[in-house]
Amino acid sequence: MSLGPQATDALAQVQGAKPPPAPGEKTDQAARQFEGMLMGLLFQTLRKTVHPSGLLGDSGQSRSTYEYLMDQAVVDRAVSGGRGWGLADRLKASWSQAEKNGIKKEVPID
């Protein structure tokens, strides 16, 4: 006996599992993750230009850990709230245009 899509989604919710994401959701998530990764790299690079204030010590693991976590929190908040640089939206538009034109998004790995 085959279950319809609604029954499958309901069963997955009851069991505590998420239904598989729609293709558009996966594209959105990938674009936002890529934008977040670039923002994080830029924050790391910019952070190297700032002299330590001494609040968390002048050197050591505690300061670098705090700075990393702070940068990640800012990036995650910006990307998840849609307040990034707009790169994710441009990527999604480019990918959908390429898909309409019949261009494959995936690059085979040798």
Each residue's pLDDT, cut to its tens digit, for the chain (110 residues) gives 455 555 555 655 666 666 666 666 788 888 888 888 999 899 889 888 887 777 666 666 777 788 888 888 988 888 887 777 788 888 888 888 877 787 665 555 65
Residue 88 tokens read as 């994710």
Residue 20 tokens read as 């598989």
d(CA 7, CA 74): 39
- 31 closest CA partner among 98, 110, 100, 102: 98
pTM: 0.59
Q: Which residues contact 18 (CB under 8 A, 6 or more apart)?
A: 12
Residue 82 tokens read as 């849609």
Task: State residue 19's pLDDT score.
Answer: 61
The answer to whether the CB of 96 falls within 8 A of the CB of 102 is no
